[in-house]
């Protein structure tokens, strides 16, 4: 209980909260507004920024006083596999391959992440690297750097390939088939029957 070691998690949390507070202030300083009665659109953001900064201090205090609970070991390879599946889904939807194909990849990679068989270290490592690069690519493209779009495409394809390779293990084919069936049923039920807008690809156009 009385662990007094500095907890890096608290430092990261505090840094994140300070960053959000600064983000609000920067965005509000940019805003130009006409005069008004009462309080305008800037007041609440500033109040929240102050709150976030205070909570940053609070989290800093927690980090120094051992205010965070003890944590078990965790298997980041499985986390990476799920995130890889989501990234794969985003890529498939963004490239117009449709909802059903996306469901198939997502289902199979999440199912694989929950299977007893350990995730091969190489697959987990590769996924983590490609997710990390993808985040960098997204930040670059938001910042308006050229080539970011191409970079994202390459990385999405790379992570899909990696996921595919991981999925070829024991139950991969079966999980892909279940994912396909689930995506198909969900599409028919919700897009056709309830008229929801779901991403359409070549497969959906056949239906």
Partner 1 sequence: MDTFASLAQGLSVATQPMNLLFALVGVLLGTAVGVLPGIGPALTVALLLPITFKLDPAGSIIMFAGIYYGGMYGGSTTAILLNTPGESASLATALEGNKMAKAGRGGPALATSAIGSFVAGTIATLGIAFLAPVLVELAIRFGPEDYFALMVLAFVTVSATFGDSPVRGLTSLFLGLFLGLVGIDLLTGQARLTFGVPELLDGVEITTLAVAVFAMGEALYVASRRHHGEEKIEPVRGSLWMTKEDWKRSWKPWLRGAAFGFPIGALPAGGAEIPTFMSYSTEKRLTKYPEEFGRGAIEGVAGPEAANNASAAGTLVPLLTLGLPTSATAAMMLAGFQQYGLNPGPLLFAEKPDIVWGLIASLFIANAMLLVLNLPLVGLWVRLLAIPQPWLYAGILVFAAMGTIAANPSPVELIMLSVFGVLGFLMRRFDYPIAPVVVGLILGPVAESQLRRALQINLGDPWVLVTSPIAATLLAIAFLALVAPFVLRGLGQFKASED
Asked if residue 201 binds partner 1 (CB under 8 A), the reply is no
Minimum distance from residue 165 beta carbon to partner 1 (Å) = 18
Q: Which of 11, 25, 62, 203 binds partner 1 (CB under 8 A)?
A: 62
Nearer to partner 1, 122 or 170 (CB): 170
Which residue, 109 or 126, is less far from partner 1 as judged by CB?
109
> Is 58 one of the binding residues for partner 1 (CB under 8 A)?
yes
Is residue 146 a contact residue for partner 1 (CB under 8 A)?
no
**Nearest Cα to 27, choosing from 47, 46, 54?**
46
For partner 1, the closer CB: 53 or 126: 53
Is residue 55 involved in binding partner 1 (CB under 8 A)? Answer: yes
CB-based contacts of 17, cutoff 8 Å, min separation 6: 52, 53, 55, 56, 59
Part of the chain binding partner 1 (CB under 8 A), chosen from 27-35, 120-128, 159-167: 27-35
Tokens at 179, concatenated: 């994912």
Give whichever of 81 and 162 is closer to partner 1, judged by the CB atom: 81
- The tokens describing 106, both together, are 């997502």
Beta carbons within 8 Å of 207's beta carbon, 6+ residues apart: 187, 188, 192
Candidates 98, 96, 95, 83; CA nearest to 162 is 83
As to burial, measured by CB atoms within 10 angstroms (0-12 exposed, 13-18 middle, 19+ buried), residue 72 is: exposed
Our finding on whether 17 is near partner 1 (CB under 8 A) is yes
Residues from 149 through 168 that contact partner 1 (CB under 8 A): none
Site for partner 1 in 161-200 (CB under 8 A): 171, 175, 178-179, 182-183, 186, 190, 194-199
CB-based contact 159:134 (threshold 8 Å): yes
Build a one-symbol-per-residue string for 86-125: x at contacts with partner 1 by CB under 8 A, - elsewhere. xx-xx--xx----x--xx--xxx-xxxxxxx-x-------
CB 164 within 8 A of CB 118: no
């Amino acid at each position: 209980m009385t662990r007094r070691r500095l907890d890096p998690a608290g430092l990261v949390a505090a840094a994140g909260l300070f960053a959000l507070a600064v983000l609000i202030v920067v965005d509000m300083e940019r805003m130009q507004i006409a005069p008004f009665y009462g309080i305008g659109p800037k007041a609440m953001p500033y109040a929240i920024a102050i709150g976030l900064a205070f909570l940053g201090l609070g989290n800093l205090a927690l980090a120094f006083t051992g205010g965070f609970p003890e944590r078990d070991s965790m298997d980041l390879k499985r986390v990476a596999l799920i995130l890889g599946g989501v990234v794969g889904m985003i890529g498939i939807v963004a490239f117009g391959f449709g909802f059903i194909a996306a469901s198939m990849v997502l289902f199979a990679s999440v199912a694989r992440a929950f299977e007893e068989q350990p995730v091969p270290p190489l697959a987990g490592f590769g996924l983590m690297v490609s997710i990390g690069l993808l985040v960098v690519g997204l930040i670059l493209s938001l910042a308006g750097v050229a080539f970011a779009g191409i970079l994202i495409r390459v990385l999405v394809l790379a992570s899909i390939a990696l996921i595919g390779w991981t999925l070829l293990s024991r139950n991969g084919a079966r999980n892909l088939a279940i994912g396909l069936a689930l995506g198909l049923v969900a599409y028919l039920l919700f897009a056709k029957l309830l008229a929801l807008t779901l991403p359409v690809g070549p497969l959906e156009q056949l239906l």
